[in-house]
Amino acid sequence: MTIRLAQTDDLPFLEEMYRQVVVAMRRNGLFIWDDVYPAAFLAEDIAQKRLYVLDGQGDEITACYALCREHTEKDAVLWVHPDENALYLDRLAVHVEHARKGTGTKALRSALSLAKHQGAVALRLFVAESNLPAIAFYRKNGFCQREGLYEEVIDEALTLRFYGFETAV
């Protein structure tokens, strides 16, 4: 397994990978991501050099995530060290053919390593309250839920609530 910055020529594969993840999430009753999010952010993530991919055997992309310096809703949560340098993990996805094989944990470990290398003292993320598998995954991997949450109004019928999680790097 190697970790690298995503390149523009990875974009078609990544868009399809995220589309397949959205289909799998819906099949499991999770209606958090859709045809727009997160795929619409990938090109900008690549341009900003914050989108990372994990390559498995034969340079096949097995997972992807963004490491961001800021998050628009960061002030909604009471972080342990609110004024310290932290990175935010966004859009973590594992290729459906590599799900439940430890790939997500490998991706998370690589994100922690990159965050430490970039001088962060904490890695933070937000998880939709309905995404119980992700909440369990992050807790299992040492992330602690912090006090507070933010709400994102999708439309008149749907508002998503997000919890903040954090771990020291």
pLDDT in tens, 107-132: 999 999 999 999 999 999 999 999 99
Tell me the pLDDT band of 134, cut-offs 50, 70 and 90: very high
Across the chain, how many H-helices and E-strands are there? 4, 8
Residue 66 confidence (pLDDT): 98
User: Which residue type sits at 131?
Assistant: N
Q: What 3-state DSSP class applies to 37?
A: coil
Mean pLDDT taken over the chain: 94
pLDDT in tens, 29-42: 999 899 899 999 99
Mean pLDDT of 81-105: 93
Q: Which residues contact 104 (CB under 8 A, 6 or more apart)?
A: 63, 92, 94, 137
pLDDT value at 57 more than 80: no
Ordered domains of the chain (ranges, CATH): 2-168 (3.40.630.30)
d(CA 73, CA 27): 29
Q: Whole-prediction pTM value?
A: 0.93
